Structure 1
Amino acid sequence: MTKRGSSQQVSNHPDAGAQRALIAANFINRIGNGLFNTASILYFTFVVHLPATQVGLGLTIAGLIGLAAGLPAGNLADRIGPRTIWLVALVVQAVAMTAFIWIDSWLAFTLVATVDRLAATAGGAAGGGLIARASGESPAAFRAKLRTYVNLGVVMGTLGSAFAIQIDTRPAYTALILANAASFALAGLIAFIGVPNYRPLPRPKEHHQWAVLTDRPYMTFVALWSVMSLQYQTVSLLLPLWLTTQTDAPRWIVVVVYVVNNGVCLLLQYKLGSRVETTRQGGKALRLAGILFLVSCVLMALSAEVPIWAALVLTVVAVTIHSLGEVWESSGGYALGFGLAPDHAQGQYQGFLGIGFNAGQALAPLVLTGAVLTLGIPGWLLLGGLFAGLGAAGPPVAAWAERTRPGKPEEAPLPKVGG
């Protein structure tokens, strides 16, 4: 198979061993992330005694600086091989995570967090290149399976962190930090043993290290997807705040929100996501996701205007619909993000995609809490309209991007949910 946008032939046959190793490495790594991320704010505020505002500022600074590693790391991955860069990033993250147990000031916290974010961004770019090389002829199926295990790992880690949070001592939080550091190291060991050291693909003469910045269709897709990815924090950040401040619903509904969201994604990510293979299907998946997000936002808004029992029902239905949208949105993003990138420059393109996504996530708290919570129900309706508009742009952006790539695949309809 010769992939669009590349002069290099890539084998149709998936690398089953590499896929298993990547799934195992990411699964273990995300267990560690779940352990640490859930309790991190408690550790930095109650154990290190940093004010929450300083923690937020430090994380924002680290996140913004971390974006700078995306393109350079991606180019390095394309030039010397993605596994090498990914392994280096995992080692750096393991060291940075361990360093958190010794910090005692805001400056030290910010410096360590910045190193961690630089390595995370570099690892994302290189990891994307590895996924592309191991995907074979059915990339959507592998990426859907990988995301399923990633979600499962986060859920398991989050549940595990509850023990440390309940104990609420420095040794308990330290154990979480060291467990996360160990997950980076173990993930790297699995990748070193089980993932081939893929050789860089030959690059055409016209290739240059900033090629993605001249690829207007891809840059448009990244901008679209990055804003649409605000949906992740709609459930994790905005909805819990809305339910606890604007409704009379009991606080335990927040736990139900997380359970339903993760449950739907775990159960349906592979079933639905494995069907989104082509870039045309990816564009249609984004359109469907936008419609589902619009419906869910309307239902979330209505939860403030009804009795408690109705608010509970509306919330569960809204989160279920939103979670279906999340499955389609992530699947469409994978299909376009990988499918439109040239094989020889996957690292560079995934690095730029990571920059866009992380920038969107960094701005999400400000946008969601500042706009939606301030405006109330109209804010929810505007947010839903934004998602629907972005989704509607998915198919034309995909078609535009395909016209700029050599070779046009046959268009296939997006499979129905029922089969």
Structure 2
Amino acid sequence: MITTGAGHGVTSGPDAGPQRALIIASFVSRVGNGLFNTAAILYFTLVVHLPAAQVGAGLTIAGLAGLAAGIPAGNLADRYGPRTIWLVTLALQAVTMAAFVLIDGWLVFTLVATLDRLAATASGAAGGALVARVGGGRPAAFRARLRTFVNLGVVVGTLGAAVAIQIDSRPAYTALILANAASFACAGLIVLLGVPNHPPLPRPDEHRSWSVLADRPYVAFVALYSAMGLQYQTVSLLLPIWLTAHTDAPRWTVAAVYAINSGVCVLLQSRLGSTVETPRQGGRAFRLAGLLFLVSCPLMALTADVPARVAPVLAVLAVCVHSVGEVWESSAGVALGYGLAPDHAQGQYQGLFGLGFDAGQALAPVFLTGAVLALGHSGWLLLGALFAALGAAGPPVAAWAERTRPAKAGTGATAPGQQAGSALHEADR
């Protein structure tokens, strides 16, 4: 039995086996991601000897090109079944990742990175649709557990990568890349053996391949969530630069805030995330996240105004507050991202959701370093105010979306994700 901090668990029943298999597969693949992502820039620059500027340009091209795969892959998942498409994308990721050991120049690097991002984006859309189908009677609780183990997998992979970084040799970095490739293959095998091949759901006559773009409330939610996604790189990019360039905090503070951010998310994701089940609850969680970010951003700015012995303590406090906000924000994203999507078009909707988030993450470094960091303390205050304003828009957007989905959400109705869980239980579990 897989337990959660809230006392819920994957118990015996028709949903338990597929849910457990999907959690294990996701954990395995994220361990591989943690192994590779931590050391990737070092491999490309120190082993392949590509200039950092070329690596950045290649990754930017790959990231932008990868956006094109989301909605088409989601449509394929809706048409042919999410497990089938996800298995294909996992196989593609295994191949493209392994190909990184063969790169010897910028053009080959950019080509491989682009194919890898296309496969990863497609995998996100198909995998999201599969999560919706496996969710069972309590989809929010399952997704919270899944995210907990995803976060834990990244932490484990990051720790493993530290060993290779310490060895600092081509064989060590090659082993990380091949281990990540193997993680995709292992995840696919686990899903193949442990998750049923859910058939596609019947689609209404008015369904179109780009119907999600006409769903204005959902598009508005994706825009809000993508903008709020700046908060991830606030901790991973902006705060480390601020601590090293503008404070007297010891350098180990940067590593400490990384570890604390991951730890808080792992410990609280199931406990808090399992309580956010409906779109309405998601809207309120989104607002709460914005308020917590409004508190954390000024605290991060204040680290530049305190003595060296106080700065680490203040940074840790700020990151703890921020991390709780991150848990609420991610829980809101899951509740709204899945709960507002029609059951027959989860793949298409998850494709748009991933596209928006990835686009926001691609633009985040430019905004955070070019605007927020340049403004100093004022930039931090404006960033916190932006998060609060985005959070405040969560409840009205959720209410707007619910009004456009009669008989699927609201008083006495079952949320779309829950409908999918119960219907699938009757059909093929």
- The residue that corresponds to 2:190 in the other structure is 190
- The residue that corresponds to 2:17 in the other structure is 17
Q: CA deviation at 1:316?
A: 0.7
Question: Does 2:267 correspond to 1:275?
Answer: no
Q: CA deviation at 1:99?
A: 0.6
- Secondary structure at the residue paired with 1:277? coil
Q: Distance in 2 between matches of 1:244 and 1:121?
A: 33
The runs of at least 4 consecutive aligned structure 1 residues that moved more than 4 Å come to: none
- The residue that corresponds to 1:128 in the other structure is 128
- The residue that corresponds to 2:331 in the other structure is 331
Q: Distance in 2 between matches of 1:182 and 1:32?
A: 8
- The residue that corresponds to 1:61 in the other structure is 61
- The residue that corresponds to 2:427 in the other structure is none
Q: CA deviation at 1:411?
A: 8.6
Structure 1 window deviating more from structure 2 (336-345 vs 128-137): it is 128-137
Counting matched residue pairs gives 400
- Secondary structure at the residue paired with 2:104? coil
- Secondary structure at the residue paired with 2:305? coil
- The residue that corresponds to 2:154 in the other structure is 154
Check the 8 A contact 1:284/1:394 in 2, yes or no: yes
TM-score with structure 1 length normalisation?
Answer: 0.94
Check the 8 A contact 1:212/1:348 in 2, yes or no: yes
Q: Deviations over 1:142-201 (max 9, x none)?
A: 000000000000000000001110110000000000000000000000011111111000
User: Could you say if the C-alpha distance between residues 18 and 315 of structure 1 is closer, same or farther in structure 2, counting changes exceeding 3 Å?
Assistant: same
Check the 8 A contact 1:54/1:106 in 2, yes or no: yes
Q: Deviations over 1:223-252 (max 9, x none)?
A: 000010111111111111100000010000
- The residue that corresponds to 1:51 in the other structure is 51
- Secondary structure at the residue paired with 1:117? helix
- The residue that corresponds to 2:168 in the other structure is 168
Q: CA deviation at 1:369?
A: 1.0
Q: CA deviation at 1:373?
A: 1.3
Amino acid at match of 1:302: L
- Secondary structure at the residue paired with 2:276? coil
- Secondary structure at the residue paired with 1:87? helix
Amino acid at match of 1:253: T
Q: Distance in 2 between matches of 1:209 and 1:14?
A: 32
Q: Distance in 2 between matches of 1:388 and 1:309?
A: 30
- Equivalent positions of 1:178-257 (< 5 A) are 178-257=178-257
Q: Distance in 2 between matches of 1:250 and 1:310?
A: 10
- The residue that corresponds to 1:119 in the other structure is 119
Q: CA deviation at 1:368?
A: 0.8
- The residue that corresponds to 1:40 in the other structure is 40
Q: CA deviation at 1:409?
A: 2.4
- The residue that corresponds to 1:410 in the other structure is 411
Check the 8 A contact 1:14/1:138 in 2, yes or no: no
- Secondary structure at the residue paired with 2:341? coil
Q: Deviations over 1:290-324 (max 9, x none)?
A: 00001000100111111112211210110000000
Q: Deviations over 1:59-88 (max 9, x none)?
A: 010010000001110001000000111011
Q: Deviations over 1:342-381 (max 9, x none)?
A: 0000000000000000001111111111111111111101
Check the 8 A contact 1:280/1:411 in 2, yes or no: no
- RMSD across aligned positions (CA): 1.1
- Secondary structure at the residue paired with 2:304? coil
Q: Distance in 2 between matches of 1:300 and 1:410?
A: 41
Q: Distance in 1 between matches of 2:200 and 2:341?
A: 15
Q: Distance in 2 between matches of 1:410 and 1:184?
A: 42
TM-score with structure 2 length normalisation?
Answer: 0.92
Amino acid at match of 1:111: L
- The residue that corresponds to 1:7 in the other structure is none
- Equivalent positions of 1:78-93 (< 5 A) are 78-93=78-93
Q: Distance in 2 between matches of 1:201 and 1:168?
A: 50
Structure 1's unaligned 5+ residue stretches are 1-12, 413-419
- Secondary structure at the residue paired with 1:309? coil
User: Could you say if the C-alpha distance between residues 14 and 391 of structure 1 is closer, same or farther in structure 2, counting changes exceeding 3 Å?
Assistant: farther
Check the 8 A contact 1:14/1:137 in 2, yes or no: no
Amino acid at match of 1:135: G
User: Could you say if the C-alpha distance between residues 294 and 14 of structure 1 is closer, same or farther in structure 2, counting changes exceeding 3 Å?
Assistant: farther
- Equivalent positions of 1:243-322 (< 5 A) are 243-322=243-322
- Secondary structure at the residue paired with 1:136? coil
Q: Distance in 2 between matches of 1:52 and 1:195?
A: 41
Amino acid at match of 2:139: P
Question: Does 2:395 correspond to 1:395?
Answer: yes
Amino acid at match of 1:409: G
Q: Deviations over 1:22-61 (max 9, x none)?
A: 1000000000000000000000000000011110110010
Structure 2's unaligned 5+ residue stretches are 1-12, 414-429
Q: CA deviation at 1:124?
A: 0.5
Q: Distance in 2 between matches of 1:128 and 1:148?
A: 16
Q: Distance in 1 between matches of 2:294 and 2:39?
A: 32
Amino acid at match of 1:207: H
Q: Distance in 1 between matches of 2:391 and 2:189?
A: 39
